[in-house]
Amino acid sequence: MTKEFIHVPSAHCETGAVSNLLRSYGLEISEPMIFGLGSGLTFAYLKQIKINGLPLIAYRMPPKMIIKLLSWRISGLKFKYETFRSEEQGMLALDSMLANDKAVGLQTSVFFLPYFPQAMRFHFNAHNLVAYAKEGDEYKISDPVFPDLVTTKEDDLQRARFSKGALAPKGLMYYPSEVPKSIDYDHVIPKSIRFLGKMNGRWNPVPISGVHGIRLLAKNILKLEKADQHYAQLFMGHIVRMQEEIGTGGAGFRFIYAAFLQESANILDSSFLHERSSELTNIGDEWRDFAVLCARLSKNRKGQNYSDAAKQLYKIADMELEFYQRLSKFKK
Amino acid sequence: MKKEQTPQQPHEMYEGGSKVVYTVNADGKYELSSTTGWEPETIVLSQALEEIDRLSQQALLKVQQGHSSPLEYHMYAQRMDLQMLAAAVGKFQWQVKRHFKPSNFVKLSQKQVTTYAEVLGITDTQLRTIPND
């Protein structure tokens, strides 16, 4: 009964899950395209939200936002979201979808998924995966950040879907209820690109996000020179983890977006977008250099200081500002 | 990042796993490349795990000396902190903190113990005890 599920490994869990899910519903759309049309790229430094006592540093839009923007922009694409009060009902609803040969996206906690390496299992509640079949008490899973298909036992999946705490998934299950036959790229690509430029660039009113957010982080790194040594080292390590660990595609999503710009350049035959794509690739490489600096500081190797890292970050902020300003004026 | 620069620095923490990143190939085209690991990443992941280890050993010592309850040890050992645990069980932080006091912890109802054990992903018996070395 089970048809073969085409699993394409991806860099980011949310966009990857949606890409694999839509393919199984008959719409071919790549991961970078979803990330781009959902205007996912940003930066945010949220001092108030603490993870293990360290501020949240995000390189993309909050979970679910990308899918919402995507279905808002693409006409004819609608997603249905379901959360459950009762765990049993949540599992039954999943089973009935799978029995009809319909794959669904699920929000889960990484901590309760046994196929993850022990070292990577943290209490992160917003991991997305696709369930596409059930055999006995085992679910067949297409986990976007794994190279191959995986399976998981019913108990584990139930626990992962109903984990508690910040961003608790509450069994969230989602699937497309309406899928368009094709997408009007000429219309949606320029729109999403301009939106992204405005959201992150000079006219962004939110002082903790976009380029402003990057400068704010740089300022806070400079303050670390006088802070407690242990805390400062943890802080630097934390930045790299937020930027590179699981599912950012390298350089905190900069490379995914550059891939989107390239794909769009080919669709719209635009040399402007080809240039922007390589510009962002350069910015991404600067982010990787920044990660190397941070990792060294987190180990407290001699000859490193915090002002080097901050300087690198100010440089990135200037480069990104120019980049976003150009995007915000993009016309096809 | 160029395709040929894709770091391949595996570490036992990844248990032989890999992940994909977006890289530029020789023709300037973006494509997916598989990476087995990158040193800066492994440095900071080990650092995070060491910090968890340090906190749970500290808590373990406190439990052995009778200054704290096993709950505090298991909270750190299961990679949580006070803020996360409180959010997960739907309590205020000061309420959870109260249960770090051994005399309060032994008085907890079975239901409360189960709630804590469930969010930590361990059994009730495990939660009531600490590993003996």
**pLDDT value of position A302:** 65
- Inter-chain touch A295–B39, beta carbons under 8 Å: yes
Does position A190 have pLDDT exceeding 60, yes or no?
yes
- Inter-chain touch B121–A53, beta carbons under 8 Å: no
Looking at chain B, the whole-number percentage of residues with pLDDT higher than 70 is 99
Strands (E), A169-245: 173-178
SS3 sequence of B27-40: CCCEEEEEECECHH
**pLDDT value of position B53:** 94
Does position A154 have pLDDT exceeding 70, yes or no?
yes
Find residues 6-65 of chain A whose CB sits inside 8 Å of chain B. 9-11, 32, 50, 52-53
Residue B126 Cα, gap to closest chain A Cα (Å): 17
**pLDDT value of position A58:** 86
Using CA atoms, how far apart are residues A326 and A283, in angstroms rounded to an integer?
14
- At A247, is the pLDDT very low, low, confident or very high (cuts 50, 70, 90)? low
**pLDDT value of position A3:** 61
Of the candidates A112, A234, A295, the beta carbon closest to that of B40 is on A295
- Inter-chain touch B15–A117, beta carbons under 8 Å: yes
Domain ranges of chain B: 3-37, 41-128
Domain ranges of chain A: 13-37+78-178, 185-328
For the ranges A118-132, A191-205, A220-234, B107-121, the one whose mean pLDDT is highest: B107-121
- At A153, is the pLDDT very low, low, confident or very high (cuts 50, 70, 90)? very high
The stretch A33-61 carries a mean pLDDT of 86
**pLDDT value of position B4:** 85
Of the candidates B18, B45, B90, the beta carbon closest to that of A119 is on B45
For residue A122, the chain B residues in CB contact (below 8 A) are 79
Does position A248 have pLDDT exceeding 80, yes or no?
no
- Inter-chain touch A241–B21, beta carbons under 8 Å: no
**pLDDT value of position A1:** 38
Using CA atoms, how far apart are residues A115 and A122, in angstroms rounded to an integer?
13
Query: Which distant-in-sequence residues (6+ apart) come within 8 Å of A64 by Cβ?
Result: A14
Residue A89 Cα, gap to closest chain B Cα (Å): 19
Residue A205 Cα, gap to closest chain B Cα (Å): 30
| CA-to-CA dists, residue A204 to A17, A115, A149, A199, angstroms | 29, 41, 41, 5
pLDDT digits (tens, 9 = 90+) for A261-319: 999 999 999 999 999 999 999 999 999 999 999 998 888 766 678 899 999 999 999 99
A180: DSSP letter: -
Find residues 44-83 of chain B whose CB sits inside 8 Å of chain A. 44-45, 47-49, 51, 79-81, 83
Taking CA–CA distances from A109, the nearest residue in chain B reads: B119
- At A128, is the pLDDT very low, low, confident or very high (cuts 50, 70, 90)? very high
- Could you tell me the fold of the domain covering B41-128? 434 Repressor (Amino-terminal Domain) (1.10.260)
Burial of A314 by CB count in 10 Å (0-12 exposed, 13-18 middle, 19+ buried)?
middle
Phi, psi angle pair for A6, to nearest 5°: -85, 115
For residue A11, the chain B residues in CB contact (below 8 A) are 19-22, 32
**pLDDT value of position A55:** 87
| Any A CB within 8 A of B14 CB | yes
Phi-psi map region of A47: left, alpha, beta (phi>0 left; psi -120 to 50 alpha): alpha
For residue B33, the chain A residues in CB contact (below 8 A) are none
Does position A167 have pLDDT exceeding 90, yes or no?
no
| CATH class assigned to A13-37+78-178 | alpha beta
The stretch A183-187 carries a mean pLDDT of 90
Do the beta carbons of residue A173 and residue A82 sit within 8 Å?
A: yes
Phi-psi map region of A240: left, alpha, beta (phi>0 left; psi -120 to 50 alpha): alpha
**pLDDT value of position B133:** 56
- At A39, is the pLDDT very low, low, confident or very high (cuts 50, 70, 90)? confident
List the single best residue of A143, A240, A274, A288 to mutate versus B (max B Cβ within 10 A): A240
Does position A230 have pLDDT exceeding 60, yes or no?
yes
The stretch A10-37 carries a mean pLDDT of 91
- Inter-chain touch B30–A240, beta carbons under 8 Å: no
- At A202, is the pLDDT very low, low, confident or very high (cuts 50, 70, 90)? confident
Residue B45 Cα, gap to closest chain A Cα (Å): 7
